[in-house]
Structure 1
Amino acid sequence: MSRLRTSSVAGVLAALILVAQGATPERVAGRYVLEGEHEVGSELVLQRGGQFAYMLSYGAADYTARGKWHVAGETVVLDTRPPTEPPFKLVRSLPLHTPDIRVWVTTKKGTPVPRLEVVLTTEKGDASATTDRDGMAIFPAASAAKSVIIRMPVYNKDSGAIALKELDTDITFVMNPEAIATVPFHGEMLKIEGDTLEMLYWDKTKPMVYRRQK
């Protein structure tokens, strides 16, 4: 019990010192771990050189972010370095003589990506299909494709509408996992409260609390 009291007092004293001295990059830099959240694991590392690394795992989704950070008043501000490529990149589109339209999705190494939602817009309207274990979504008796949207439900991300050539029936995309999993912090402000940081990015009504590790 005395050890718990000592640890608690030390934490309070550290917080009071930070408040009294004011927030500076040197005092704020460090490793912070999310606390008080069930089924969520997350940490934020603020490096002394002004770079940060962030990760969050929830269910089947693993999010990451890297970029720059700085102190503004009593807040830490995060700006993510954006991915260099889009989530889904069109790499091949061919006018094969088939009675249907096929949309393929693979990784950069050619591995098929299953369970993606694909929405194809043609002259007759919209149709939906899901990629199978071969990474293929098939649209029977479809023609005159106008655009396609590829969605990854686990991350709640999509490609946006990508224009297609009307005569093409065999279309291949490459998925960029970095663009899908990257958290796009842009001027994201985390409130400094003693030895913790409060983040509102995921829920504007309830801050997620990250505590600095010794």
Structure 2
Amino acid sequence: MKKIITALLLTCLSTAAFAEVKNTKNLPGHYYLQGIREVGSELLLSKDGQFQWMTSYGGFDQFAQGSWHLEKDKVILVSSPQAENPAFRLFSDEEMRINKPAEAGTWVAITGVPGLGPIPGIEVRFESKSGKISDAITDKNGDAIIEMPESEEWARAALRKGKSAWQWFDIPAERRQERLAAFACLDRNQARPVPFEKLPLQIEEDGLRIVDDSVPARLIYVKQ
């Protein structure tokens, strides 16, 4: 939490007009942190009790999602931990911006969250049409790379985290030809450390204020 506040306090507060949060029935909605230059922070409170939160300062981005509930006059955000067995899907054609195929004799599987970043530590199993199997683990760039004879053709790939069940995917023809495939993780928390476990927000007339005694400034989210 202190790291979040430190990033937000790198700039000074300016005067802003605040929208009113009159009662708890009006709480769900889209909020923006106001009055801080060069820092963007958004909060989405859904009616089903879920939230999404993000903040960006320069090249430093953070994201959290989970559930929210009321405790007296506060909104409490509780982040979801990283899933032990996250689900994956193939990148769409629009997300697949890599045009250069993998070098001959190598197969490459990329894992990450589009728009957020790569995911290291994911085990990938490569299987050729002839049944040859080779395993690799994604590095800090989200890449799992194996060597495979040029005579072999990539048929399937499976992904898992830790000792969870394998999730198998047929490799599309274009991806087989380029020996390069990318897999998107459906758990956004896998791409970045969870920035906070719990974040209390005080309900005030002009918005939702971050509650932290160590912060000498009034940081508030305003509903749009």
TM-score (norm 1): 0.47
When you count strand as a share of all residues, which structure comes out higher? Answer: 1
When you count helix as a share of all residues, which structure comes out higher? Answer: 1
Q: In terms of Rg, which structure is larger?
A: 1
